Structure 1
Amino acid sequence: MKYCVLFPQAKNVHLIKDVGMIAYKLHKLYSVESYVACYNNDRYDYIDGDLKGLKLDFINKKHNNDIIDGSLYLRKNAKTIDVLQLFHVTIRSVVFAMVYKHYNKNGKIFLKLDCTENLLNKIKSLSTAGLKLFNYFFKKVDIIGVEQKKLFEEIQLLLPKFKEKFKYIPNGIDYDLFKSINIKFESKENNILHVGRLGAEEKNSEMLVEAFIKLNESNNNLPWNLVLVGESTDTFTQYVENCIQKHPSLKNKIKQTGQISNRKELIEIYGKSKIFSLTSHFESFGIVLIEAAALGNIIISTSVGIANELVSDNGGSLIMDSNVDDLTNKLYHYISSKDIERLSTNNVNLIRENYDWDKIVMNLYNEITK
């Protein structure tokens, strides 16, 4: 079987997310011939490292238009592709599906929705013409993956004619990378961790810094650190420096690591932390949440992506968007909690049971080969 993920914008970092991981696991577990088709956008170090066996097929950037270039790629290769993985409900995906099915009527399309409430709202507001195009697209697709349980149930009710095509396929964790990591709670440090594109407007990382400052204003001897991981804008870096100048006692408590591309190094940082906080205004899934929970972090997050499902079993709390006081109070609650070790263990078990890429891809493979 040849499995192709068509995602022209793919960079190295996408390969360790759903763009690369599903194809990689299909290859590793079932000897599927797996490819990611994309422009040559980056140095793809993961291909020769953690994702050995996954292949890249570079799209010719002839027209500098991903829809045209991707369609030309499909015209040339569709007949040899048994399963085509696409993302999102976009004009690009509609065109790719049409071209693929035109040249390979027996091929299968797996559409990974990356679903959010926004998509459901857009479907509800479609015009008659828009709804016809939408229905035409979904008829072309064979498997439609929805990443969150709540949205999976809602979209089945919203579009009952496609109910059999909808499958609950969350994002996952590659436990092969965790084999050497010690997740014992007693080995953890008093770290509050945040991972993301620091300074990006939707990430709202400043909110966490402000909450950490408030925590320390009430207790200068608070033995906790704030660890900020990710590429940072110059504006955010300057913002943190200004905060430290105003609050000198935080100089050794707020730590910026920069972007960490080495997966094992990042996993070790997750493993050393006790609390993970996500302050985003918006996330489609939020894979950092399951990575953090898998390594025993308590989750404190705005109500985005998978956060609600993770905290429903008391593995953390949701916070109000942009409400610094709410975040400060929730951080203080868990810092002071005598139950934090039990909650940490709960999260480790929850993720292993429900978000293991091996189990997720096994279910998808069963659907593909029906």
Structure 2
Amino acid sequence: MTTSPSASMTAYGVLADQTPVNQVTLTNSNGVSVDVINYGGIITRIETPDAKGEMGNIVLGLDNLEAYTKATTYYGAIIGRFGNRIANGKFTLNGTEYQLATNDGDNHLHGGVQGFDKKVWNMTPFTTQNSAGVTLSLVSPDGDQGYPGEVTTEVTYTLTNNNTLDMQFIATTSKPTIINMTQHSYFNLAGKGDILDHQMQINSKAITPVDGGLIPTGELMDVAGTPFDFRTAKAIGQDIKASNEQLKLGKGYDHNFVLKDTPSNELVEAATVYEANSGRTLTVYTEEPAVQFYSGNFLDGSTQQASGLVHNFRSGFCLEPQHFPDAPNQPTFPSTTLLPGDVYSTRIVYEFGTK
């Protein structure tokens, strides 16, 4: 007997200022389920079946609200206004220089000290015949973290009966500004151990190489003949210890992989991951021109979750679809400018499967 998709809301916790935080549990007709809290729009849990049909959580998460408020790892969060790094936290738009909050050395990372990952969103669950979802909305005031313009944004997570989590991001602004949103879930398809044996394919023939501050140099680097060539599936750990300057700078993989020669709103397959012991697969689709592949190089075992999974070095990986890092300061990169009257729109899809 198949059940109808469901979306149920429960109390999750209370912030220090007494703001209540809720959690929505989305479940599809196949028993796949996703938990989302309205603090940061964080995905705290994704349960999918393995090849034997046994359910298990495939994302890194924390066990309570206080842990999420203290975390600096962006577990499962909505990232904005600007994903990834902006050099020295500065950019110039229409002749005006803006200074953003710096929270990664001299640089601005993932929206600043209080980015979208640290905000309380409005949250409305919904169901349709073939899906369960939640719509999150937020107004970011003019000057928030140094950004110009009041930005109104809406993120919708839709869990379908096709075992996809379809995510739509929309934003508008009152003044010219920049925006580059993404989702920051850490995956471990085995639900335990490290991710070095996961087989990954990334449909990219070039990365944007970085300097010592992990800021793009402005060039494109062909992946052929380098540890960054994932055009054919290989283990994440196969080349991660290779003698390579870019791997040294990133302490592993923490790089922007180019997916499109020219930006478009076409949904493309960015990457596919397979974990042999569980048989689980993850495929990531996006409208974005690039994806950041991060191999969990800064996880240090200081956090864990109730399942017993300790967040050790490389115990999770991220695939964060995005525009290129530092794009406002790199004239050859696709633009991240949003103007009043225009609508920022992008889409990311996680497809869960087994083989």
Scaled by the length of structure 2, what TM-score is found? Answer: 0.26
Larger radius of gyration: 1
Q: Please state which structure has a larger fraction of its residues in helix.
A: 1
Scaled by the length of structure 1, what TM-score is found? Answer: 0.25
